[in-house]
Amino acid sequence: MAIIQLGSESEYIRITLRSPYNTEGWCRAKVDIALPCFSGHIEPWLEAGDIERFAAELQQVHELLKGEAKLLPREEQFTLHVQAGIGGHITICGVAWSGATYGDKLQFSLELDQSYLRTTLSQLASAASPK
């Protein structure tokens, strides 16, 4: 299992890839969201290409301290939009649905410092590498 976390130990979005991409490039994930006064989880399906694209875009955001990275799976049950702002501030906005774009919907936002991205990028590299 690979774990990818954006944020601190108390406020985060954590993606746990439960199995290798063995179902035609798809992987079941568990997404935990912990924010002030809220915590929850969903279990979307992600494709290997989703993680690889997000990793490449997030690497650019980290290196240039500008731009954005998006995790936009085909089913859109869980999406992330990471944007770099002035002074190394990072804003993460996202949407989580209880089902693939149906059921209960959570829109969330998390602010962090760009220093948190280093660990996330290392985790993404491990998740994207062949096993």
- pLDDT for 13-68, tens place per residue? 999 998 666 667 788 899 999 999 899 999 999 998 999 999 999 999 999 999 99
Q: How far apart are the first and last CA of the chain?
A: 11
CATH numbers and ranges of domains, the chain: 2-128 (2.30.31.40)
| pTM for the structure as a whole | 0.91
Percentage of the chain with pLDDT > 90? 76
Strand partners for 32: 14, 41
Q: From the CB of residue 95, how many other CB atoms can be counted at a distance below 10 Å?
A: 15
